[in-house]
């Protein structure tokens, strides 16, 4: 956006269905925490996933530890940082990247967020 990096966090389940997404101007432990907290708001502690597959960015480990400490994430959750397990999210992310590149990128953050919300919502509906 205007030549600056922004990050789109996405969460999918085993079946490839999009659970949630988060648009951030930074990729740090606070952004990862906000994203994971947002994803987990729909689940009781008993129904939360037992495993979280993430890339190897250190911000996820910090965010997961913070959520466990606050009691928002079950204590027995396992974080896996295996490269090939992250391929599902990367391949699911590709069509959104393709659409963004085709539009020539974004100039205003607010419009980018609303456009991405629309694109993600349509993709979620198409996936069922």
Residues with Cβ < 8 Å from 17, sequence gap 6 or more?
124, 127, 128
What residue spans define the domains of the chain?
A: 7-127
Q: Token pair 């027995």 is at which residue?
A: 76
* Alpha-carbon span 69 to 90, nearest angstrom: 29
CATH 3.30.70 applies to domain 7-127: no
pLDDT digits (tens, 9 = 90+) for 83-98: 777 666 667 667 777 7
SS3 of 46, please? helix
CB 1 within 8 A of CB 112: yes
Tell me what percent of the residues of the chain surpass a pLDDT of 70. 91
pLDDT digits (tens, 9 = 90+) for 20-63: 888 888 889 999 999 999 988 888 888 888 888 888 888 999 99
pLDDT digits (tens, 9 = 90+) for 6-31: 887 888 777 777 778 888 888 899 99
């Amino acid at each position: 956006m205007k030549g600056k990096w922004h990050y789109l966090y996405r969460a999918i389940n085993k079946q490839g269905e999009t659970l949630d997404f988060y648009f951030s101007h930074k990729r740090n432990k606070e952004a990862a925490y906000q994203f994971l907290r947002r994803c987990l708001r729909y689940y009781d502690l008993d129904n939360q996933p037992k495993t979280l597959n993430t890339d190897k960015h250190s911000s996820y480990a910090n965010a997961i530890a913070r959520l466990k400490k606050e009691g928002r994430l079950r204590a027995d959750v396992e974080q896996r940082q295996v490269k090939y397990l992250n391929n599902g999210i990367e391949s699911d992310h590709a069509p959104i990247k393709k659409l963004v590149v085709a539009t020539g990128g974004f100039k205003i953050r607010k419009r980018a967020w609303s456009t991405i919300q629309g694109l993600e919502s349509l993709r979620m509906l198409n996936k069922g």
